[in-house]
Structure 1
Amino acid sequence: MLALIPTWLLLGVAILVEVVSTSSIKLTEGFTRPLMTLLVLCGYGCSLWLLSQVVQRLEVGIVYAIWCGVGMAAVALVGVLVFGESVSLAKTAGIVLIVAGTILLSLASKGH
């Protein structure tokens, strides 16, 4: 059944689940809230399982770079929009550089 789902869609869902899980860590209050902690851990498990399915079809280095780069940028955005975290030129430049690096890795992989 999973073979019928497009690989990039699986990767997108893995990233989405990871972003939700990472963004929810703050809500565990230092892992003192058992139910929220369990939800975060289950989310990570689900995301990693989906990632394991994606790397069966695509290069692991590219998959991991995209998962990390897109996930990091999305979590930073959630931090600003949901948790009111600060935005600075340095933070923005760092995120742009990571996303650019992810794109370069992906393009280099396709030319190989």
Structure 2
Amino acid sequence: MADFDTTDRKALGILSDTVSEKLGPSDKVTREIRRAYTSGKQIDRFMARAAFDSLPDWQRSDIGSAAEHLAHAIIREELGGTVPFGTERDWRDMDMPKGRARLPRNSDTAGDMQSPPRFLTRTTR
């Protein structure tokens, strides 16, 4: 259990709560994920992954979205109700090197359109 850190345990707890809410506390997937969460053993985590992967795609997507919303709510509560990155924040502010001035936008291009982040652009090799 040494390789099962606290972040993974919290994430598995959030997933366990969400699966229990969506599928019910007596469902096989819920029981497997709850067992992995409480024990932290690698074999239990493997069995929980297999049980979760056996769900239909739409159900895994639904559970994933609900777990993500729960995780965001927990983070907001821990931070005292503040949102670390609001939707109105410009993504370029996050990866701008410190100490460099930001270049002004070219106003004659596509108006309010922003270029995509670097990791989404295709580069030739």
Rg (Cα) greater in structure: 2
Q: TM-score, normalised by structure 1?
A: 0.33
Q: TM-score, normalised by structure 2?
A: 0.30
Higher relative contact order (CA 8 A, sep 6+): 1
